[in-house]
Structures are given as C-alpha cells and as structure tokens.
Structure 1
Amino acid sequence: MDRETLERAAQRGIISQQQLQQLILFSRAEQQDEDVGEEQLRFVRNFGDIFITLGVLFVAFSVAAMHLSQFEWLVPALLFLGAAEWLVRIRRLALPGIAILISTLYFLGKALGIAEFETATLQFITLSGASLLFYLRYRMPFSLLPVAAGLIAAVISSLGVDILKHQILFSVLGFSVFIAAMSFDARDRKRQLRASDCGFWLHLLASPLIVHGMMTTLLFNDSGLLASGSNREIALLLFFVVFLLIALFVDRRAMLVSSLSYAIYAIFKVVSSNLLDSNNLPLMVFIGFGVFIVLFGTYWYKLRRLIFGPLRGRWAARFVPEL
C-alpha cells in the first residue's frame, strides 16, 4: 500500500496519525541502506499530475491577463482555494496544489496592491500568513517555502536598506532558513516522513539566498586581497567546495543546484586566466564540470561515508541521515 493511500485512510479516520507514521516506517523498513536518505520527488506521482497542473496554469495565466480592479482579484483567489479543497484536500495532488498556491498568492498580492517593495512589509506578512494557513489546512510541505519567502521579503522591506549594496544580507537570511530546514531534517533523519519534504523545500529556498549573497559579495568586493590576481575566483571556488561539503554532510543534493552557475563562472575565469587559451575553453569547462557532477552524484554516499565517516556517532551526526 503506497503512502498516498495510507494518508487518505488517516484523513478519513480509518487509522490514526500515529498508526500512519508507524505504517510508513514499517513499509520502508526493509529498504537497503543506499536508498535511505534519497531526496524523493514526492510532489509528482505520474503524468496525470502534470496534465492537471497544466490545466491549472492555463486558467491562472488566463485570469492573470484580465483587467480587474484591486479587490476583484479576491474572486479568483477564492475560486482557486475552492479548487484546492478538491484537488489537494480530497485528491491529495501535490503538484497541482503547488500551482494553485502560487496562483492564489499572486491574485492575493494583486488584491493587496503591492506597488513598491520598500513599502509592502504588511502585504508580505499577509502573503506569508496566507501560505501558513494553506499549510495548516492541507499539510502541503511546499507551502512553507512561500511562508519563509514572505517573511524574508517583509524583513528586507522593513529594514529599508538598499539590498543591492548589502547583498550579504541575503546570506544571513538564507542561513536562518537553512537552520529552519535542518530542524525539520533532524526530526526525520531517514527521510521517510513529511518533515523531510518540508526540509527539502526550505533548503531549496535557503541555498540560492546563501550562495547569491556570498558570491556577489566576493565578486564585487574591492578589498586589496580579492582584487589582486585570481584571488577573487579562487575564493569563489573555495566557497563552492565548502558549500559542497556542507550539502554532502546534510545529504541534500538540492543545495548544490543554486551554486552550479557560480562555480562554472569561477572555474572558467581561473582556467582562462592561468592555464589555457582556446576557443573551445568554455565547452571544455562545461564538459569537465558535467563529468564532475555525474561522478559526484553517482558516488554521493560513498564519498559521504569516506569524508564524514569519523563523525559517525558524534553529536554533529545526530541531525543528519546516518553516515
């Protein structure tokens, strides 16, 4: 019996939430160790989910193109919430639910009349609160991403600083989201329950914030140490290596997606200025980096045990999947 069937049984009161968790754990107890900890894409089950999501998006884009007054945007927002009752609460469709939530927040944002980012603190808090209510109602892990994103936008808006001049703030806020994600991961080290899915979406938000803030700070920092030679590009590569090791330790491949573009840029700059001078250099860099990703992804768990094996049983390993 699959997880969705068990969740529907719990929703209808056939089994309790405690029994649901025990059944999920029991059904996966015989999986091999290599499978434990994998980041499963549980928000899409089959092509039917994609097909329904396309329908939701067609409706959303069509409504978004209409000319409605400010408060008239509440009408499609409420209609999409009605669709959520059917598709998310009853049918348990996660991917269409994501499209519905994003569309609802867009229409709600239009109704709130967000004109300028610097004066929209209350509106961002409202959108974050709406996402939280969506999570409490439908228990859809993706809902936590707009909750955190709304709070981050509210903080930046309320500070009234020029974010382009203080981009390190992105990393500070991203690190706070990372801590929240790790709190969910620590509750589900075997990556079998909803807490792991919640952590996945928060990591997906935290990573680009951390990477963007650090990388842009390194790229545009005019300090003497970074301005000389290839120190800037080397610093970018060092940051990428550290970030890669953190992703490996917490067992989250999703963290690396946001840093790949910056890593490719840094590798290209270092290689082009020091080692090679060829018209095919960009292709060679991309090929080499692609091979690295394939090998790193293939031997992910072996590398994880090799590098962090000595931490097995230590306090630091109690918050991450088994080493």
Structure 2
Amino acid sequence: MISARTLESAVQAGIISLDQRNRLQALEHGAVEPDAGDAGSGDENLRLVGGGNDLFVTVGIVLLTAGVYFVLATMLAGQTIWMAGVLAIFAWVVAEFVTRQRRMKLSSTVLSLVFVGAAAIGVSLVADRFYPIRQPESLWQLLALRQMVAPAGYIAFGGTIIAALMYFWRFRVPILAGVIAIAATLLAFLQTAILLYDGVAAGTVAAPALETMPEMMRAALYMPLVCGLVVFAIAVALDLHDRERRTIWSDCAFWLHVVSAPMLVHPLFIMATGQDVVLGTIEPDGNATVMLAVLILGFVYVALAIDRRSLLVPTLAYFGSLGIYYLVNSAANSTGIPPFALILLVVGALIISFGAGWQHIRRLIVRPTLPTSVLDRLPPIKA
C-alpha cells in the first residue's frame, strides 16, 4: 500500500499528475471502481456484474444466506427480531471479504439487499413491539392509531435509512442510494399524512367529503412528484459531479434515476391527460393527446441531455403500457390490428433506435439546441 506521503513525493517529482494522485486516493477509499476505464466507450456503464467468478460467488451467497436463514428459523423459532439481527450481521461480515477485499459487484449488491432487508424487518418489528398497530374495531380506535403510526413509522423508515447509510459508508454499494431514496420518500409520505390528519383533527383543514375525493386524490399526486423531483435533482447533481462516469457516484445516480422516473412519470401523466385517479379511466381528447406527446418528447430530451437511458426506460415502459395505448387505439380499431401489438411495435422500435444510435441521436438533438456553457457541464457527447 502506497502512503499519502509517497504519492505526494511522486507528484512533486513529476512521476504522476495531481489528478492521477487524487484518483488513486479515491480508488483507495472505494470511490472509484477499478474497471472505471470503460467509461470512455460512450455507453452508460452500469458496473453491476464483475464477471463469471462474480456470478459464481453470488450463487454461493444466495445458497449460504438461505442456509443461515433456515438454521436461524430452527434455532430461534419465533424470535424474528433476533433472526433479522443475526442475518444482518451475517451479511455485514461476509461483505467485509466479498465487498471490501474483492470488490465483487453483483455479490456486493445481493449482500447489501440482504443486510438492508434484514435491518428493515428488524427495526419494523422493534417499532411494532413498542407501538403495536392492530386492526381497529371502532372509530375511536381508528382515530387513536395516530399515536401509534407516527412513532412506529419514524422508527421503521428512519431506522432503515440509518442502516443503509451505515452500510454505504462502509462498503460503497451503489444500489443503496436507490434504497435510501425509496425509504426517504415513504417517510415523506408518512409525514404528509400525519400533517393532514393533525390539520383535520385541529379543524384547520376541512375533512374530505365523498364528492371531493377524486380532486383530493389528484392533489395527492403532488407529493410523489415533489419527491421525484428531489431525487432526480440529486441524481443530476451526481452526474454533473462525475461527467466522465468514472466514480461510484455515477452508479448511485443510475439507481436514483431509476427510482425518480416512476415518481415523475405517473403524476405528470395523470395531470396532463386528465385521468380519473379513482375510477382509473382516461379522457383521450385532443388536449390530452397533445400533452401526452409533449411529455414523451420532454422525457426523451432530458434523458438525452443528461445521457441517462435509466431515466428513459421506465418512461417508455409506463407510456407504452398506458399512454401509447390511447394514442394508437383509434388506428387499431380501423385496421383491426390489436392495440397491444401496436404498443410493442412503437416501444420496441424506440428502444432499438435509441440503443443502437444513442450518441448519434445526442449529437443531432442535444448539441445544436443547448449553449456551449451548458454542454460543458453535461456528460460529454462522444464522437
């Protein structure tokens, strides 16, 4: 192991550059993946699988974890909290070798999910023990749930976030960024529901009537939209911090984009097309069709600008299953072709086109439409 003093001497002697020293130090602390040199290929590299040996070890981890679980289920029958704690410790100990020493990517991802899953179950059971939530049998019991749900939710979601942060601080596994974002979003939903409940109980907020329920449900879409925008903004900030996609933060941004895309697409789709959230029907009038097309183009442009297919894939999947159906339904009725077949044709053609010529499309669309000052901050457009 080369000391920091030796690296500093190498910089002063002109053996390595200052940037190379910084990257070596980042690699030592796990912020840069050893194979990050592939980042210049122009593809959105997701360093998820490290090779055949990684797959082989992952199978072993799955089998070992299953074995440990069944042993614990026999030895600690009925003591679920202890089982979850031991399983979390087991995942952490194995990760000390697999992740810290060997940097096996897929195996590390599986171990991180085992740890966070066990930790989430553990803290949820602890919360239920101190603040038990039972099915209400009367209106008064339903109203009294506020005193139980709030602290139980804080312990469950907050504990999961803390456990994921501790594991990420130690092992730097990118998928935990998405896990933390999901847990934080659920915590925000809980807090919003509690504030609404307190407002109704205090009389400062009118209790919703049955006829206003659809409008209230539509207003509730602002919460996932706001959370999606926050997660998306953090992901873009990480992308701008690592334009060349060489560090672990780029992989964290990938998972944040995967999490933020559904939270952005679903509310915007409903707001733009006038879908009835309660009845699940849609009004495919002319304005809805235009707004839907604008949404699709907007998401495609943003994905191209920030060079993230991970934002576009959930978008196409959602619009393909819901939105495009109504755009092509009239054509299907006149031609006799099943709507599902047209959906497959449209989405499949888009995915293949973007997959085969992603950087070429970026050059044609993004480069002429953005000023140089903005392009210099975005991921570079490969030749």
Same structural fold, with TM-score higher than 0.5 when normalized by the shorter chain: yes
CA distance in 2, matches of 1:230, 1:126: 48
Question: Shift in Å at residue 218 of structure 1?
Answer: 4.3
What is the match of residue 194 of structure 1?
A: 248
1:54 and 2:111 aligned: no
- Specify whether residues 191 and 228 from structure 1 end up closer, same or farther in structure 2 by C-alpha distance, changes over 3 A only: closer
- 2:192 alignment counterpart: 159
The letter of the residue matching 1:99 is: V
Secondary structure of the residue aligned to 2:100 is: helix
Residue 71 in structure 1 maps to residue 74 in structure 2: no
1:232 aligned residue (288, 297, 301): 288
Q: Distance in 2 between matches of 1:287 and 1:134?
A: 43
**Contact kept in structure 2, 1:125 and 1:154, CA below 8 Å:** yes
2-structure distance, mates of 1:140, 1:32: 18
Contact 1:128 1:149 in 2 (8 A): no
For normalisation by structure 2, the TM-score amounts to 0.70
Alignment check: 8 A CA contact 1:10 1:20 kept: no
Q: How does 1:248-259 map to 2 (within 5 A)?
A: 248-259=304-315
Say which one has the larger Rg: 2
Q: CA deviation at 1:143?
A: 2.3
1:89 counterpart SS class: coil
The one-letter amino acid of 2:307's match is: D
Question: Which one-letter code corresponds to 1:155 in the other structure?
Answer: A
Aligned residues: percent identity?
Answer: 23
Give 5+ residue unaligned stretches, structure 1.
1-8
Alpha carbons of structure 1 residues 235 and 199: separation in structure 2 relative to 1, 3 Å = same
Alignment of 1:20 with 2:20, yes or no, is: no
Alignment of 1:203-282 (within 5 A): 203-218=257-272, 221-222=275-276, 227=283, 229-264=285-320, 265-274=322-331, 276-282=334-340
Which TM-score applies when normalising by structure 1? 0.81
Aligned residue for 1:190, secondary structure, equals coil
The 2-side partners of 1:154 and 1:71 are apart by: 22
**C-alpha distance in structure 1 between counterparts of 2:102 and 2:252, whole Å:** 20
| Contiguous gaps of at least 5 residues in structure 2 | 9-20, 134-148, 198-215
Counterpart of 1:168 in structure 2: which amino acid?
Answer: Y
Selected match of 1:310 from 368, 377, 381: 368
Deviation of 1:50 after TM superposition, in Å, equals 2.2
How far apart, CA to CA, are the structure 2 residues paired with 1:268 and 1:46?
A: 39
CA change 1:238–1:57 in 2 (3 A) is farther
- Contact in 2 for aligned 1:233/1:267 (Cα 8 Å): no
Let me know the Cα RMSD of the aligned residues: 3.5
Deviations along 1:210-254, one digit per CA (max 9) or x if unpaired, are: 11232344466459xx84625434433321221111001100001
Q: d(CA) in 2 for partners of 1:11 and 1:71? A: 43
Aligned-pair CA distance for 1:92: 0.9
